[in-house]
Amino acid sequence: MSRAFRLLLASLAINLALHLPAYAEKLIFADGQAHVIAGEVSERVIRIENGTSVRVSAKVEYDANILQPEEWEGNRGVLDVLNGSHLVIDDDVVSKYPGSYELMAVFAGTGSTIDVLSGQVRSAHVVLLDNSELNLRSGEIIADAGSGNKSGINLIGDSTANIFGGSVRTGLGDAYAYAIRASDRSVVNLEDGEVIAIADTFNAAAVLLDDEAQLSVSGGILDVYTPYDGSLTVAHLKGNSTGTFSDGRATISRPLVGTYHLFHLEDHAELEVTGGHFLVSDEAHDCPQCPTESSVFRVDDASRLYVAGGDFNFTRPTKGHVDLILNDHTEVTIAGRQFDQPMFQPIADLEGVVSGTLLDGSRFQFSFAREPNSVLRLIPEPQATSLGLWITLPLIRGTHRRRLAKRSAPINEFETVSVARTFDHLRT
């Protein structure tokens, strides 16, 4: 073979190598060891399984404008974390997608754990399935604008999201926007940080719970807003879901046209409020197109609400607002003292105003409207629940604490690895 021919073959080989599609190699971590991704990864999907731990310390990005669904090689996310594996995110993880393509940034299943320490996790969804856990300590989880339903975090099947800091939010787009969506007995714990949903022309909720999901808020901020019109809810609980709110803030910003509720309970949902700060932005006040319906609490479909604390002293909109809306066999119990109406017995009026001091010492004044088959009642002490006026919700907080303690993620394991392995050793 002549030297010139050998040079020609070498040149062809180099050109072919330079133009090989990036998705030809999928990165798989499956040896049960700890690894560090220290160099930037683009246009490759990554699978972590079999109890393996991976720390992402460099940007990971995948563009579905370039690579179509058939080239995702079976992955549901840019990073799939499966079978009790552990992912720590220290840098950006991004899934870019056009319109209908929704490759998630991260998909976790079957008892896996994700710790987000910094960076942006950006895509249509981050999904946790089958007893998986997400711990957000700093950084951002963002659901980009696009068509269809979108959620920053989507929890299914006994999964848990613990928000200790950072932010979860949806971007503006032609979609139903839920910053966190939890179903099927999943749990959301908010201790600090921000959970924000932005509505365009459809519905938006900071948190949407369904199918026996649980919410515990002991700090941080839940916020929802729109620069246009839409239906806004800070926390929407349905399908036998339960929630506790003991501290933190729940706010609605820029409620211009449409309907809004700080809390909406339906289909046998239950909520206990013992503290916190609650606000509807004054941009709604005196507007020529105020919301057609608004409330602090809307309670529907045999749901129950217990209020014993919280700061509700904000200026109400001038029209279309009722603090408490009770429909269809619902029950609302307010615990405190110095009420302007009799205690224990249901309030007879179908609409009116009730005021007094909540158990935490906060003064309140709620307007209300109820259907005849719904009950609004005032009680002096939580012990009155033994009379059958209110029963289950004080037990929920213990459930949340047990889940949180049980599923604390071990992020120190990477500090004990003597030699950091990079993804180059495990390409397949």
Of the CA atoms within 13 Å of residue 300, those in its CB half-sphere come to: 12
79, part of any domain: no
142 inside domain: no
Q: Give the span between the Cα atoms of 253 and 365, in whole angstroms.
A: 21
Question: Mean of the per-residue pLDDT values for the chain?
Answer: 80
- Residue 86 domain-assigned? no
> Is residue 249 assigned to a domain?
yes
Residue 97 has pLDDT above 70, yes or no: no
Q: What is the DSSP string of 303-371?
A: -EEEEEEEE---PPPSSSB-SEEE-SS-EEEEEEES-SS-SSSPP--SEEEEEEEETTS-EEEEEEEE-
pLDDT of residue 49: 96
Is residue 378 a part of any domain in this protein? yes
Structural domain for 326, as ranges: 200-391
Other CB atoms within a 10 A radius of the CB of residue 265 amount to 28
- Find residue 296's DSSP bridge partners: none
Please give the pLDDT value at position 154.
93
Condensed to tens digits (0 to 9), the pLDDT of residues 147-204 reads 456 788 999 999 999 999 999 998 666 567 889 999 999 999 999 999 998 876 567 8
Domain assignment present for residue 104? The answer is no
Whole-Å CA distances, 164 to 118, 135, 139, 191, 273:
12, 7, 11, 5, 20
Residue 67 has pLDDT above 70, yes or no: no
The pLDDT assigned to 283 comes to 59
Could you read off the pLDDT of 370-417 as tens digits, one per residue? 999 999 999 996 554 433 444 334 433 344 433 543 343 445 544 333
How many domains does the chain divide into?
1
SS3 121: strand
- Please say if the pLDDT value at position 8 is more than 50: no
Give the residue-averaged pLDDT of 260-286. 86
Note whether residue 301 is domain-resident.
yes
Would 194 be classed as within a structural domain? Answer: no
